[in-house]
Amino acid sequence: MITAELRQAIAAAAGLDADPRLRPGPAPGSYASSLPFRLPSEVAQDLARRLGAESWIAHADITAPGYLTVTVTRDTLATLAVRIVRAGPACAASDALRGRAVPAPPPPDLPAEPSWPAARAALAAHLTARLAATAGASVSFYPERAGVPLPGIPPSSPAERSLATSAPMPHPLPAPGRGRAGSPQVPAERASVAPSGPVAEAIRYAGADHARFALARMPPGGPAPEAAAIARHVLANPAYAVRYAHAAAAAVLRWAAALGQLAEPGELALLDALAWLPEQVAVAARRGRPDEFAGYLEELAGRTLDTMDTTGFTAISTISSERLWLADAARTGLATGLGLLGVSAPDRL
């Protein structure tokens, strides 16, 4: 949420609608932008002064070579957990892709895909559109068309807007009574036969959520997942680890609820990771790379597990109300991210 608000603040202070290209700064709560590279020196300095005057920003500086580094106040970062919990799934939203038009294919039938690359392509196209919509893009759905991975979302133009509202997607879905390539109608006795390709077999073996997450994190041209590996309930398996981290955060809330009065602050590193959720959604959508968003969720899960270990809580003094908000924020952020990928987020595993 902080990155979404910082993006708006930079645009307002600079007086132009340009992508600030935010990057992590040197410490939790700090954010770097390369926008000064594209501005005259005096305009960049004025931008820093305007941002530094904001009550929620501790300081803003132009740093060599041409970067703007903004550090928010400690209170801004500390209250992020409460804001995320109250926002719910909207904590991932931003207007980073406002004005972009994105064509969207329907949800893919993953078990019916003939190969892992084909399933990855179909899912990536669908997820890219979902992420883009969350980042403020205008999305046009085509229930009669299937798609291929969007290579990224270019700047909006009249031609692109026309394409998004009228042009067909590259690969048509089967028409009623026709096969995927327009082949004759499938006999009724064959229509009910369960798919038998490698993806369908992996879904049956590992479960739909594990297979879907493995596909979502699969980069273009990446190796096909192994069903036995993605089925394992170990933290080395990202398909399990991200959902386990969500359950771990939920467990902290259940465990701590019985302790009564609480005190002491939460962890800045986890808050800083959560602050990047809207920006990571936008970047993955802009690049057409949902696998990069899945990678961000893996990092967020790692920070959550490092912080939300209930074995470290042995007395009331070891957990605080701030930590409870942080646990709920981590749970909310992970559930939102998994939901964008179409993966369930159980409270218990």
- Closest C-alpha among 272, 337, 278, 277 to residue 94: 278
Q: What angle do CA 90, 92, 93 make, to 5 degrees?
A: 70
d(CA 284, CA 267): 26
Q: Residue 309: what pLDDT?
A: 61
DSSP states of 154-222 as a string?
PPP-HHHHHHHHHPPPSEEPPPTT--TTSPPPPPHHHHTPPP-SHHHHHHHHH-HHHHHHHHHTPPTTP
Position 321 scores a pLDDT of 62
Per the CB < 8 A criterion, the answer to whether 106 and 126 are in contact is yes
Helix (H) / strand (E) containing 58: strand 57-63
Q: How would you write the pLDDT of the chain (349 residues) with one tens digit per residue?
A: 899 999 999 888 888 778 888 999 888 899 999 888 888 888 888 999 999 999 999 999 988 777 899 999 988 888 888 899 889 999 999 999 988 888 888 889 999 999 999 999 999 999 999 999 999 999 886 654 444 444 455 444 333 233 333 333 333 333 333 333 333 344 444 445 677 899 999 999 999 999 999 999 999 999 999 999 999 999 999 999 999 999 888 877 665 443 333 333 346 888 899 999 999 999 999 999 999 999 999 999 998 888 876 444 444 344 456 677 888 899 999 999 999 999 999 888 7
**Residue in this structure with the two tokens 């801004």, named with its chain if needed:** 76
Name every residue whose Cβ is closer than 8 Å to that of residue 36 and which is 6 or more positions away in sequence: 44, 47, 62, 66, 67, 68
**Phi, psi for 103 (deg, rounded to 5):** -75, 140
List phi, psi (to 5°) of 345. Answer: -130, 85
Among residues 147, 282, 289, 165, which one has the least CA distance to residue 218?
289
108 cis-preceded (ω within 30 degrees of 0): no
- The closest of 42, 138, 131 to 93, measured between CA atoms, is 131
Q: What local confidence, expressed as pLDDT, does residue 57 receive?
A: 94
User: Is 23:32 a contact under the CB 8 Å cutoff?
Assistant: yes
**Number of other residues whose CB lies within 10 A of the CB of residue 159:** 10
pLDDT digits (tens, 9 = 90+) for 24-66: 988 889 999 988 888 888 888 899 999 999 999 999 998 877 7
Q: How is 10-24 classified by DSSP, letter by letter?
A: HHHHHTS-----EEE
pLDDT digits (tens, 9 = 90+) for 165-211: 333 333 333 333 333 333 334 444 444 567 789 999 999 999 999 99
Q: What is the pLDDT of residue 203?
A: 96
Look at residue 257 in the predicted model and tell me its pLDDT. Answer: 44
